[in-house]
Every structure is written in structure tokens, then in C-alpha cells.
Amino acid sequence: MKDFKDSAAREKVPFWLDPKKRAILFQLMTFAMVGLLAYYLTSNTLINLEKQSIATGFSFLQKESSFEIGESLIPYSAANTYARALLVGALNTIKVAFIGIVLTIILGTIIGMARLSTNWLLSKLAAIYIEFMQDIPILLQLFFWYAIFYETLPSSQEALNPGAGIYLSNRGVAFTIPEPHPAHLYMLLAFLVGCVIVYLIRRWARKRQEKTGQIFPVFLVSMGILVGFPLLTWWVLGAPLKMNVPKLGGFNFEGGLTVSPEFIALLLGLVLYTAAFVAEVVRAGIQSVSKGQREAAMSIGLRPVPVLNLVILPQALRVIVPPLTSQMLNLTKNSSLAVAIGYPDFVSVANTTINQTGQSIEGVALIMAVYLFFSLSTSVFMNWYNKRVALVER
Amino acid sequence: MKVFKCFTMVLMLLAVGSMAVAGTLDEVRAKGVVTAGVNPGVAGFSMPDEKGVWKGLDVDTAKAIAAAVFGDVNKVKYVALTAVQRLPALQSKEVDVLCRNTTATLTRETVNGLNFVHPNYYDGQGFLISNKKKVKTAKGLKGATVCTLPGTTTEMNAADYFRKNAMPWKPVVIESNAELNKAFFAGRCDVLTSDASQLAAVRSVAPNPDDYIILPEIISKEPLAPAVRHGDDQWYDIVNWTVMALIEAEELGITSSNVDEMLKSTDPQIQRFLGVNPGFGKALGLDEKWAYNIIKQVGNYGEIFDRNVGPKTPLKLDRGLNNLWTKGGLMYAIPFR
């Protein structure tokens, strides 16, 4: 053994025959090539743009945008900067992506469960839905929902009134909302306090169950706290009941809360399309849990709901979460199709910005950066969640 | 997918090497065609007919350039570009010239590195509205929902107009012309705003054209002009003087039908213009017959206007500002001397 070591040390291996050093060398070379390529592209572009006297840089962000945006979560007018316009667009994308993801998971789970149902009709209906929705391109679906909205619904003058304070027209859905009142802020605070208390109760209940085996009705008590606290606050602060009812102004409804046809069409299209994929993911996840697990759980006397909650789901989630993440990313990225039906998402606003400033390289770079940010943050969150549900090996 | 197209153009911008800049004219001659960026579909300006043949005022302008360079109107390759794609397409050399109802503006001529030649259509932005709304003036549009195309000067003009008059409004911005028109006709918006010529084109394809009126206010100046890249003066001259030749021919009374007789004219101005007395062709780097070829194969500006957008077409547009300067319009060719 000793001899071998000595001979190895004596016989110097040239570095190109040493796999470790060679690997490092190759990696350095690749890195240098990528770096050089990036440098070449950037410098070359700058030279070319300079030659054609096309402006470069991000200073345009501070200029006045002078265009209006149809809907916005923050106050915005044409007098604001491009930076703010782009922020409005990004928030609109987040709005539709967030609501879309929540609804998609709910709908996808329901359809996935229905697909596995022993009820023949229910299961076949779910199968048809999945096949149908998966096979039609999302862009066509968006056009379809948008067209349905403006073609079938009446003008705002003849708006449908399906329930008290709700008006349906081709200008969107106008809702009655409570008039702003300071009490609302306190109600929100009460809700947050409720959340903290529910969290503490859950911990306490679990510990008690581990010690004594007694089960505490956590769900009912939690719901009571989450609903009751804000209601109580509202009542204590004088129960303000003033409502902001939408009224027909010159052209459109004024007051209340109006949800635009573009948003509804985009949301519907994204949710119905992605839910079909999520349903398949959920079905695959549940089917991956072997039958024996369910039978074993039943045989020790658990009822169907605890069987699902305590035995099937924790194992199914391990299979479900990774592909679910990719579906959520798909939904976010597909939301950029909004430009086709006039919803002012980030791409739409960035397009207008590119055209008015003529700085397409910066604009496209911003679009890429923003979507990369959305996707990475979704991934980070889902990976964290995946770690939580993943198999803990002991 | 629009984004991807834009993205590829950006990549092309990146890739246009530091190679020595050959003149656009030489490149065009080497390729054998003039590559022209046109609108995918505005009736009267550029739109393929049922046989797929491009027709319109902008298309005829592109043909005139091909006639000047090659003596053959068919040597044009049309590239349909959306409003958002058009400037990058020209910058990245995907097209040699942009004949795509594009408004000449300060920003586009400076920051975007383009040069606009003499306008081939003087336009202004207006509002198209249904009779049923009972609105007679743009001042009555308070609170209206307005349909518009993205990435156009229109978007900014509308914002300026409503801001100046302190009227609230709501834009609905849809990328494709077809989708935008459908949404407007179905009542998603109260008004459609665009250049008046385009509104006339939209109205001509409405389910019932008589139900719509164009409001009297014209809220902006829109000189629509062909555009070329910065930095190639010869190519700029060729495109510019092609448009000038169309106007000059109308002024001189030369049409596609009488151009052969005019070759025998004793008027020295006409002799110089048609290359009977040579000089202009050489100055531009073209054949001496360049102007003759344009008029013979495409016609003069008046013919182009009447054929595509004039009173006898579905667009029913008056000459108005686009008449010759001698008839109260703005079409004024710099002297051919």
C-alpha cells in the first residue's frame, strides 16, 4: 500500500490526465466562452445602436408615460412615469395569476377527484372535460370567452340584474361594495389577530391530542374565530351599513366595483384550461398511493375523511406538488396572452412602452426579468412546500 | 407569440455584425427585391385581396419604389408587421423600407434612428361612434370607454386629449385590428379612436356602415410617411423622390395612360422628369427611366388615391389635405431641377 502511494507521488500525473483538474479546466473554459459571448453581444449591440443613433439605457423609465391604462390596483394616470405604468402592469399580472392559481387548484382538485369517482357519469364527465380543455389552444379559448362576454351580454343601459346590487353587461360585472369606513381597518386587524389565535389553538390541540388522545374540534372553533372576530368588531364600531351602489352614468356604471370583461375572460380561460392539467396531476397523485394504504387505514377504524386527510393526501402530495408547480408557472406565463384580448398585463404595458420609447432591447429585457422573477419566486415557494410534504426519512 | 417575434428581432439587432455597412441600394439590387414592411390589414392602405394580392395606397408606394429601382412593380416582398413590430423590423434590417401608415414624429426620427420621407398621406386622429349613442362632438365623450390599438401614437393622443379636457375615460387596448373591430361593433367600447382614414376603413367593413359616424373633431396631426433607417442618404433620397415623383406627375398632368405620349412632350420640365433629358436618374443612382417606370406601372398620386381610398371606393375619403397644393391641399413636390 505504502509503495503504491509513493510511486503515485513520484510519477507526476500531467494535469490534463487528472480527471479532477481537467474538469475544472473545462468548466473554466466554458465559463470564459459564455462570458466572451455575452461581452461580444453586449458591446456589439451598443456599437450598432450607437451607429444608428438609437437611444439606449433605462433613463426612459423616469419619463412621463402619457398613456392611460384601463385598470389598475394603484392610483395611476397618464402623468405618471413609465416605471409606474410598468408597475401597474406587473400588479395586474400578479392579480390575475394569483387569483387564477387559487381557483385552478380548487377546480383542478375537484375535477381530479371526480375523475376517480365511482359514479360512472361523474367520472366520464370529468374525463370529457379534461380531454376537451387540454386539446384546445388557450389563445382560442381566450378569444371564445371574450367574444361570449361582449356578444351575448346586453349594453350597460340594459344591464342584467341577477341579484341585488349586481349588474351584468358587456362592460363587465358591477358589484355593490360597502362604502369605505374606518371600521374596515379594525376588522382587518381583528381578522389578523384571529389568525394568530387559530394558529396557537391548533398547536395546543395537537399537543393535547398527543398527550391525552382527546380530539379538539379545531376546524369549527377556528372558523368561529375567523368570522366572529371581524363581525364583532364591526358591530362594536357601530355597524356601518352604507353601501356604494353602482349607478348608470353617461356611458358606464359609476361607483361600486366593476370587474372588466377582459379580466373575467382571461381568468376564465386560464383557470378552465389549466384546471384540466391540474386535475390529471391530482388524479395521478392519488392513484400513486397503493390500495393497501387505504385498506389498512380503514381496517384500523378510521372514517373516510381522516383516511383521506391523514393517510392518502400526505403521500399523494409528494407526487402532486412538483408537477403542480410547473402548472402554476404555466398559468403565470400564459397570462401574457392577455394582450390579445385587451387586458393591461405587464406584456401589454411593456409593448406600449417599447413602442413609444422605441427601446425594444430594454423593454424585452424587462419582460424577461419580470417573468423570471415571477417564476423563480413561485418555484422557491413551491420547493419549500415540497420539502415540507416530502418523505421524511428517519 | 408577438413577444417572440419582437424577441427574434431584438436578437437580429444584436446580431447585425460590425461588418462594413453596404449601401441599402446595393443590398436591394443584390437581393433582387425591395423588402417593404406593410400593415397586415387596413382596407385601402394595405390589405391582401381575396386572391392574396396586396392592395392599397401604402402597397402602391412600395411598388413605386420597386419601379424606380428595378423598373418592375412586382419586385417587392411584403412583410406584414404589427404596430409594435414595425420599428424594430426596420432597425434590424428585416425590411428596407416601412410603408405602413406610420406617423412621422420627433421621437421616431431621433431616439428610434429612423428618417421619414415626404408623407404619402396626411391624416388626423378622430373618433368613430355609433349613431345610437347620440353624441355629436368629442367633448361629449366624458366617461366613455375607448377602443384603441396598442403601440401607436393614437394611444398617446387620446390620453393627451382627455387629459387636456379633464374628462375621465377608460381605454381598451387590443393588439389585432380584427379583434379590436369585433369588440367595438359588439359594443364593448363606446368609441373607436384611430386615424380618420382607418376609421373610414373600419366603417366600410361594419355590419351596417350607416349606423356609425366619425365625430367632427380631429385631435391630432398624423403625417403618414414611408420610413428608412438613419445613415443611408442615397436610399433615403430614392424613397423620398419616389414619393415626390408621384406628386410631381400629378402636378404635370402625367398619368399612367398618357405617359407614353408625354415622352414626346416639348415641355422641358416634363422632358427632364421622364428622363428624355437625362440627369436625374444618374443623380439618384438609378436608371434614367425611373420616373417613367413609376408612372407607367403605378400611376401618379391622384390615381393611387382614387384607386385605393377615393370617393369611388368603400372608404369614400375626400382628397382634403391630400390634394395638390394648387388645389388647397398639402401635397407639394420640391422642384425637379
Dihedral sign, CA of B133, B136, B141, B146? positive
Give the other-Cβ count within 10 Å of A255's Cβ: 16
Contact: B2, A339; criterion CB under 8 Å = yes
Predicted pLDDT at A55: 74
Report the CATH fold assignment for B125-220: D-Maltodextrin-Binding Protein; domain 2 (3.40.190)
What is the DSSP secondary-structure string of B231-255? T-HHHHHHHHHHHHHHHHHHHHT--
Closest in B3, B91, B159 to A67, CB measured: B159
The secondary structure element, H or E, covering residue A167 is strand A166-169
CA distance linking residue B144 with residue B128, whole number of Å: 12
| Contacts with A370 from chain B: Cβ below 8 Å | none
CA distances to A48, A58, B38, B200 from A37, in Å: 16, 23, 34, 50
**Low-confidence residues of chain B, pLDDT below 70?**
1-22, 151
Phi, then psi, of B100 in degrees rounded to 5: -140, 70
Put simply, the answer to whether A355 touches B9 (Cβ < 8 Å) is no
- In whole angstroms, give the CA distance from residue A343 to residue A260: 9
A204-234 per-position pLDDT tens digit? 988 888 888 888 888 888 889 888 888 888 8
CA B202 to chain centre: 16
Say whether A251 and B183 touch across the interface (CB within 8 A).
Answer: no
Burial of residue A2 (CB within 10 Å: 0-12, 13-18, 19+) is exposed
Strands B114-116 and B121-123: unpaired
DSSP per position, A35-53: HHHHHHHHHHHHHHHHHTT
Read off the pTM: 0.78
CA of B187 to nearest chain A CA: how many angstroms apart?
7
B72 touches chain A (CB under 8 A): no
Closest CA to A274 of A341, A335, A327: A327
Same fold, B2-122+224-327 and B125-220: yes
- Can you give the pLDDT at residue A238? 79
Q: How many CA atoms lie within 13 A of A4 on its CB side?
A: 1
Q: Which value, to the nearest 10 degrees, does the dihedral of the CA atoms of residues A370, A372, A374, A380 take?
A: -150
pLDDT for the residue numbered B20: 44
The amino acid present at A223, given as its one-letter code, is M
Phi (first) and psi of residue B116, to 5 degrees: -100, 140
Q: What is the pLDDT of residues B38-47, one digit of tens each?
A: 998 888 999 9
ipTM entry: 0.73
Residue A254's H or E segment, with its range, is strand A253-254
CA B307 to mean position of chain CA atoms: 15
Contact A254 B88 (CB under 8 A): no
Contacts of B92 in chain A (CB under 8 A): none
pLDDT of residue B252: 95
pLDDT at res. A4: 54
Query: What is the domain partition of chain B in residue ranges?
Result: 2-122+224-327, 125-220
Q: Quick one: pLDDT at residue B19? A: 42
Q: How far is CA B63 from each of CA A194, B33, B58, B175, B285, rounded to the nearest angstrom?
A: 73, 10, 9, 27, 18
HSE (CB half, 13 Å, CA atoms) of B308?
Answer: 28
> What distance in Å separates the CA atoms of residue A292 and residue B46, rounded to the nearest whole number?
69
Amino acid letter, A149: F
Query: Is A53 within 8 Å of B110 when comparing Cβ atoms?
Result: yes
**Residues B83 and B155 sit within 8 Å (Cβ to Cβ):** no
Shortest alpha-carbon distance between residue A147 and chain B (Å): 8
CA-nearest residue to A42 within chain B is: B14
- Residue B8 in contact with partner chain A when CB distance is under 8 A: no
| Residue B131, Cβ density class (10 Å: 0-12 exposed, 13-18 middle, ≥19 buried) | exposed
H helix or E strand, kind and range, residue B126: strand B125-130
pLDDT the model gives residue A10: 57
CATH topology of domain B2-122+224-327: D-Maltodextrin-Binding Protein; domain 2 (3.40.190)
- Longest Cα pair distance anywhere in chain A, in angstroms? 98
Shortest CA gap B101–chain A (Å): 15
Question: Would you call A368 helix, strand, or coil by DSSP?
Answer: helix
What are the backbone dihedrals phi and psi of residue B55, each rounded to the nearest 5 degrees, phi first?
-135, 150
Decide: helix, strand or coil at residue A168.
strand
pLDDT at A3: 52
Helices (H), chain A: 2-10, 19-51, 82-116, 120-135, 138-152, 183-212, 218-236, 261-287, 291-299, 304-306, 313-334, 346-357, 360-389
CB proximity list for A167: less than 8 A, separation 6 or greater? A156, A159, A160, A161, A173, A174, A246, A253
pLDDT on residue A366 = 93
* Measured distance CA(B201)–CA(B211) in Å, rounded: 14
Domains of chain A, residue spans: 82-179+242-389
Taking the Cβ of residue B100 and every Cβ of chain A, the question of whether any pair is shorter than 8 Å is answered with no
Task: Tell me how far apart the alpha carbons of residues B333 and B245 are, in angstroms, rounded to a whole number.
Answer: 8
Chain A environment of B179 (Cβ under 8 Å): 143, 340-342
Query: Which residues contact residue B295 at a Cβ distance below 8 angstroms, ignoring those fewer than 6 apart?
Result: B245, B246, B249, B254, B255, B256, B259, B274
DSSP annotation of B314: T
Specify the amino acid at residue A230: P
Largest CA distance in chain B: 63
Q: Which CATH superfamily is domain A82-179+242-389 in?
A: MetI-like (1.10.3720.10)
CA nearest to A357, candidates A35, A1, A66: A66
What is the Cα–Cα distance from A36 to B215, expressed in whole angstroms?
A: 58
CB B3 within 8 A of CB B11: no
- The answer to whether the CB of A274 falls within 8 A of the CB of A108 is yes
Query: Could B151 and A356 be called an inter-chain contact, meaning their C-beta atoms sit closer than 8 Å?
Result: yes
**What averages of pLDDT result for each successive group of 10 residues across chain A (394 residues)?**
53 79 90 93 82 77 89 90 94 95 95 90 95 93 91 83 82 84 86 92 88 84 88 84 78 82 94 96 92 91 85 88 92 92 91 83 90 91 85 63
